[in-house]
């Protein structure tokens, strides 16, 4: 058993992968993949830049970055449509300005039958536990308006709900904290395992996609995150995104 049990819950999902793929934002927990996998590593920053921004994280297990990509402002430009057998996308989406657009871009590079591996922290098991959940309507608005950046003020929830003592600081001092969180791309969005599944389902409907879930572990199992593996199907006709928001028990 791993010293970090959530990693053990990921492994059955990784074992389903084969072929050529990418891992985005692997940081200190790169996936342990079958020998049949050929993986390239993508991130918005180099390991050297990460070490400066995140001195609290050991970079010993960081992988060499093969492709620098910024999903806030651009695309997975090195990769053609439907060219990859898998994409691993763990603990990235909550940091992104426009999660729906990023998810659409990830699906673009997956071939039909390819595997999407996606994970996000479950609010109820992290330092975000007191923050309000991100509403899909907010994310949809950012998507249709092609939002590509977040202001420092959009990180105020971190002060309000995680460091409430910061809210009494002089404005210049508070803004310094906000700028630091912006530079580190701290969590902009907050989900539970249930609301993250709803986010995925609603986004898939918006794109006219219906990937098939092949493996899933939620917060009640991992005590940390939602983790799922989805097989991309052939895109279908778009179904009304707001017509079928599911209400289910926690994965």
pLDDT, tens digit, for every residue of 118-170? 999 999 999 999 999 999 999 999 999 999 999 999 999 999 999 999 999 99
pLDDT for 251 beyond 90? no
Torsion (CA) 134, 112, 147, 185 in degrees, nearest 10: 60
What is the rounded CA–CA span in Å between residue 6 and residue 223?
A: 7
Q: What is the pLDDT of residue 59?
A: 83
Give the pLDDT band of residue 249 (cuts 50, 70, 90).
very low
Q: Please indicate, yes or no, whether residues 98 and 221 belong to a single structural domain of this protein.
A: yes
pLDDT for 100 beyond 60? yes
Cα dist. 116→56, 111, 131 in Å?
29, 10, 28
- Residue 130, in any domain of the structure: yes
Give the pLDDT band of residue 172 (cuts 50, 70, 90).
very high
Dihedral pair phi/psi, residue 81, rounded to 5°:
-55, 135
pLDDT for 203 beyond 90? yes
pTM (predicted TM-score): 0.91
Number of domains in the chain: 2
**Closest by CA position to 23, among listed 87, 68, 76, 105:** 87
- Residue 251, in any domain of the structure: no
Question: For residue 218, what is the domain's CATH number?
Answer: 3.40.50.150
pLDDT for 86 beyond 50? yes
Q: Please indicate, yes or no, whether residues 60 and 177 belong to a single structural domain of this protein.
A: no
* Residue 193 vs residue 239, higher pLDDT: 193
pLDDT for 234 beyond 80? no
């Amino acid at each position: 058993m791993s010293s970090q049990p959530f990693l053990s819950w990921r492994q059955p999902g990784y074992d389903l992968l084969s072929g050529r793929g990418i891992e985005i934002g692997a940081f200190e927990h790169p996936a342990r993949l079958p020998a049949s996998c050929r993986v390239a590593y993508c991130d918005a920053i180099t390991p050297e830049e990460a070490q400066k921004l995140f001195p609290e994280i050991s970079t010993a297990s960081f992988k060499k970055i093969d492709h620098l990509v910024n999903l806030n402002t651009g695309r997975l430009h090195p990769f053609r449509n439907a060219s990859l057998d898998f994409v691993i996308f763990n603990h990235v989406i909550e940091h992104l300005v426009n999660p729906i657009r990023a998810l659409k871009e990830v699906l673009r590079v997956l071939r039909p039958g390819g595997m999407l591996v996606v994970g996000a922290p479950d609010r109820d098991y992290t330092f975000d536990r007191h923050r309000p959940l991100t509403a899909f309507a907010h994310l949809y608005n950012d998507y249709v308006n092609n939002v590509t950046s977040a202001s420092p003020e959009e990180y105020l929830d971190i002060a309000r709900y995680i460091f409430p003592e910061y809210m009494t600081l002089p404005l210049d001092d508070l803004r310094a904290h906000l700028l630091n969180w912006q530079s580190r791309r701290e969590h902009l969005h907050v989900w539970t395992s249930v609301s993250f599944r709803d986010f995925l389902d609603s986004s898939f409907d918006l794109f006219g996609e219906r990937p098939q879930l092949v493996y899933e572990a939620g917060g009640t199992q991992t005590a940390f995150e939602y983790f799922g593996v989805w097989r991309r199907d052939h895109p279908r006709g778009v179904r009304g995104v707001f017509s079928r928001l599911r209400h289910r028990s926690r994965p």
